[in-house]
Amino acid sequence: MRRERMKTMGSIWPVLLFGLLLGMKHATEPDHVIAVSTIASRTKKLSLSSLAGMFWGIGHTLTLLVVGMAMIAFERQIPEQIASYLEMGVGIMIVILGIASFRSTMRLDHRHQGDIHDLHVKSTLIGIVHGLAGSAGMVLLTMTTVKGTWMALAFILIFGLGTVIGMMLFTTFLGIPFVWMKAKQQVMNQWIVKTVSLISIAYGVYYMYHIAAEI
C-alpha cells in the first residue's frame, strides 16, 4: 500500500509541474498581456505594476476554479457557441480598456486616492473575464490530463499559480520603464500610454472580428 502511494505521488508531481509551467505560458497570451498592459502602464510604482499582474491572476484562477470544477463535477462541457460568445466578451473588454486608458491621458491629473483600489478591482475583473472565456479550454485540458476530483482541483490551482507568477513577472518587467520616467518626462509617459491604448483598441477589434468569423 505504501509503495503504491509513493508511486502515485511520484506520478503526480510531473503533472503538477506541467500545470505550473502551462499556467505561466498561458498568462502571456496576447489578449491577456494587452488587456493588463492598459492598467499596468499607468502605474508609477513598480510594486503597483506587479500587483496588477497578481490580482489578474487571482481573478483568473477564481473563475477557472469555480466554473471548471462545476463542469468537471457534473461531467459537462461548455457549449462551443457559448464559449465563442465569452471570447467575444474579451474582445469588447479589451477595446473598452484601451479607450478608457487613452482617455485618462487627456486629463491633467488622473491620479487620485482611489487609484490603488481601482487598480486591484480592475485587474481582478479583467482576470475574471479572461477566466470565463478560458474555462471551456481549462475543463477539457484538466479532464484529459488528470483523473479524479482532487487531482483536478490540484491541477487547476497549480495552473492558476502559474498564471499569477507569469503575469506578475510580465507586469513587473512592463512597469520598469515607467518607474524610471521622472516628472519632466510626463509627456513621453503619456505618449507611451496612448500607444499601448491604441494597440489595445486595434487588437480588440481584430480579436472580435476573428471570433465573429468563427461563430
Instruction: State pLDDT tens for residues 12-49.
Output: 888 889 999 999 999 999 999 999 988 887 787 888 88
pTM of the model: 0.85
Instruction: State pLDDT tens for residues 1-19.
Output: 555 544 444 568 888 899 9
Question: Is the predicted pLDDT of residue 215 greater than 80, yes or no?
Answer: no
Q: Which of 44-53, 143-152, 171-180, 196-205 has the highest mean pLDDT?
A: 196-205
What would the mean pLDDT of 122-129 be, rounded to a whole number?
Answer: 94
Distance of CA 76 to the CA centre of its chain: 24
Which pLDDT value is given to residue 54? 94
